[in-house]
Structure 1
Amino acid sequence: MNIQTLQTNNQTMSSREIAELCDKNHFHVKRDIETMCQQIEIDVSKFGGIYFDASNRQQTEYLLDRDLTITLVSGYNAKLRYRIVKRWQELEAQASAPVIPQTLSQALRLAADQADLIDKQNERLALVEPKAAALDVIDSATGSLNARDTAKTLGVQPQKFNAWCIAHNWMYRDNKDKLQMCSNRLQQGFMSQRPVTYTVPVNRNGVTVYETRATTQPLFTPKGLTHLAKTFAIVHEVA
C-alpha cells in the first residue's frame, strides 16, 4: 500500500486510504463522508486535510478517527468492513509499539522529548506538592484557630507568623497593641473573629480593683488555613 496514513497523537485514516481499501473512487468516498457528517450533524470541515497529487496539485481529503471510519463503511459490504477493521488493528499495533531510533538524530530527538516530558511532570508535581502539604495541615486542624495555634499548625514561630500576617495585610495591631483581623480577610472567608473578655487592674483611691473589658480575637478559618498552608509550602519560610 503506497498511501501514507496520517499518524498523530489521535490516530486517523485518510479518505484516500479508505478509498483504496474499499476499491472506490476517492471522490465518491469524500461524498459519502460529507453525507454521513450531515446526517449525524457533525461539521465535516473539522476533518479536512490537504495533500498533493502526482502532478503536485493541491487536493483535499478527510481524516477520520476509528469511530467515524467504521460508521462510514458500515454502509458498505462485509468484505470492505473487514478490510477496514484489519487496517485499524495494524495502525493501533504500530502506535503501541516502542519507538526505536534508527539514527543519531532520531536518538537525540527522542532523548530531548523524554527530557521535556520529565520537565513537564516535575512542573505538575511542583504544583501538586503544596496542595498536598496544605491538605495534610488541614487534616490536623479542626475548626477555626487563633493566631498562635495557626502558627503552630503551620510549623512557624508565632512571632514570625504574626509579623508576616501584619506585613501581608492579614492582621494589624489596634491602639491597644492587640492583634485584629483585616476586614478584607473576613470578606474572603479566610478569617473570622470572636468576642473575648479580659481583666485589667485599676487603681481607685489607692485600692486596686480589676475591671472586665471586652475585645475581639482574630481567628483563621479552615479556608484561610488552607490558603496559608499552600502559601507557606511554596515560600518555605516566612518573609
Structure 2
Amino acid sequence: MNTLVEPALTMSSREIAELTGKEHKNVIRTVKDLLAAEILDAQIEPLKFEYRGQWFDYYELNKRDSLVLVARLSPEFTAHIVDRWQKLEKKFKQTNVDLHDPHALRRALLNYTEQVIHLETQNQSLERTIDTITQTPAGVKFQQACKILNIKQAILANWLSQHNWDRKLNNTRASTYYSQERGYCETKYEEVARIRPNGDPYTFTKIEFFILPKGMQVLAKYFGKAE
C-alpha cells in the first residue's frame, strides 16, 4: 500500500491583503495582534520577501487562522477567502495522485491538460486585449482596467497605492511622479466652464487618471501570475 504524505495548505498574508483590498502592513499588524492575544492556532514566525531592495515580513497561515484573520480585518470579505480555500483544496485533491495507480494518473493528466488549455485561452484573450491597448496611446481609466484584468476595484486600488502608482488630488485619483516618469500612468487636467443656477459662470478643473499601455502590461503580468 502506498501512503501519500499530504503537504500543509497555507495562504500568505500578501494574498489575503490582495483579496481584502487592505494594505499588507495593516494585515501584518493584525496578525501580530492576534498572535500576541493567542487567538491564532499556529505559533508562527514571519517569513521574508524582498521588494525594491528591502526585506519585509509576511506570514503563511492555515485555513482556520486565515479565516480568523479576515473576520478581524474585513468580515464582508470572508466569503472571498472561503472561495479561495475551496479552490486551493480542490487543486490539492487533483494533484494528490497515487503514482502507482494508472487510472488516477490518467485522470490527473486529463485534469491538468484541461487546466492548461483553460489558462492558455485566458492568457491569449488577455494578451489580445493588452495588445489592443498598447496600440492606443491614451491608455484606460481605472474602472476599465479592472474589467480588462478581471479583478475587483478594491484589489487594484490597493495595489496602485502600495506600489506608489497613484495619489489623491482633491479627493480624485491622480498619477504620482514615480508612475508618470516610468510611463505607467498619467493624469489629464481639463478646465471646464459651467453656469450656476443664478446665471453666474464658473470654472473647475476636471481630473482624469489613466493607466497607460506600459502600466497595463505590468499589471497583466502581475495579476496573471497571481491567478
- TM-score band (shorter)? 0.3 to 0.5
TM-score if structure 1 supplies the norm length? 0.37
TM-score, with length taken from structure 2? 0.38
Between 1 and 2, higher relative CO (CA 8 Å, sep ≥ 6) is seen in 2
Query: Which structure has the larger Rg?
Result: 1
